[in-house]
Structure 1
Amino acid sequence: ASAGSAFRVHAVRLGPGQELLGSLQAFVEERNLRAPFIVTCVGSVTKATLRLAHTTAGNTNEVIHLDEHFEIVSLVGTLNKDAHLHICLADKEGKTVGGHVMGGLEVFTTAEVVIGEATELLFERHMDHSTGFHELVIQSRSKKD
């Protein structure tokens, strides 16, 4: 599925100790954003909970809990109610780890996040039995929304 839309830009800066995912979801809910997505993010975290990539052979769902200082080198995804975000973090040696954001992203110094909203679309997630996951469903907004 695909659709085009104009978009609006929002920006938020989170501070030390704030939880990134929950704070972004609260921001989206407070502003009633209907089709939000991450444009860019820079910052640092001291903790993270990530689900690692699935393998076709084992279809593993390994979840890791990280507890050290990391720079956020990438954050991408959609921020509707059931957010789907992937993150890449770099440690003090520049080694990276990434995966599906499960939560527990505790901001160290700052997280500067630019959020886009497709103003003519609505993002929802529905179960896709072919993948076994709730996948993005893109809808056009009606003029009355």
Structure 2
Amino acid sequence: MKLLPLRLQPGDDLRPALEQAVRQAGCDAAFVLSGIGSLGRASIRLAGAEQTLVLDGEYEILTLAGSIASNGSHLHMSLSDREGRVLGGHAGPGCIVRTTAEVLLALLPDWQLRREPDEATGYAELKITPS
């Protein structure tokens, strides 16, 4: 395992930026160990929801965790608004960094992560294989 600390800049799209950082590191497998920061726009799919919820405003990233595979990511985050209300779910493309996002990635160069259809769940689920 190799650790990769990142600071994303204002205007960066969180999910694609993390996927790009893993690709640029020449890796096919990573986990997000920790993430904090702020968003000016959040794109979250709530538990069991079909549609993505898009929120514009000032949000603090309280937690960020997940896996980054060679063909897609599975990220969860919790956010708070200016009244301290907390909301969480799947982080999608369109989570735009407001001031910063500080993220710690664990790169796994000896492994390959892929998302493949799973008959039991009906979703593309994580498949883990040695490199």
Kindly name which structure, 1 or 2, has the bigger radius of gyration based on alpha carbons.
1
Structure 2 residue 58 is matched with structure 1 residue 64: no
Give the Å deviation of 1:126: 0.6
Distance (Å, rounded) in 2 between the aligned partners of 1:18 and 1:87: 16
- Residue 120 of structure 1 deviates from its aligned partner by 2.3
Q: Does 2:27 align with 1:33? A: yes
Residue 3 (structure 1) aligns with: none
Q: Structure 1: how far apart are the matches of 2:20 and 2:130?
A: 23
Show structure 1 runs of 5+ residues with no match. 1-6, 55-59
Q: Matches of 1:9 and 1:50 in 2, distance apart?
A: 26
Which aligned segments of 4 or more residues in structure 1 are displaced greater than 6 angstroms? none
- How does the TM-score come out when normalised to structure 2? 0.94
Equivalenced residues, count: 130
In the alignment, does 2:69 pair up with 1:75? no
After superposition, the CA RMSD in angstroms is 1.1
Q: Counterparts of 1:67 and 1:131 in 2: how far apart (Å)? A: 32
Given the alignment of the two structures, is residue 128 of structure 1 paired with residue 118 of structure 2, yes or no? yes
Same amino acid, percent of matched pairs: 35
What is the TM-score when the length of structure 1 is the normalising length? 0.85
- Gaps spanning 5+ residues in structure 2: where? none
Alignment of 1:102-141 (within 5 A): 102-141=92-131
- The one-letter code of the counterpart of 1:116 is A
Match of 1:101 among 91, 100, 103: 91
- CA displacement at 1:17 relative to structure 2: 1.1
Are 2:3 and 1:9 equivalent residues in the alignment? yes
**Amino acid across the alignment from 1:135:** E
Q: Which residue of 2 aligns with 1:45?
A: 39
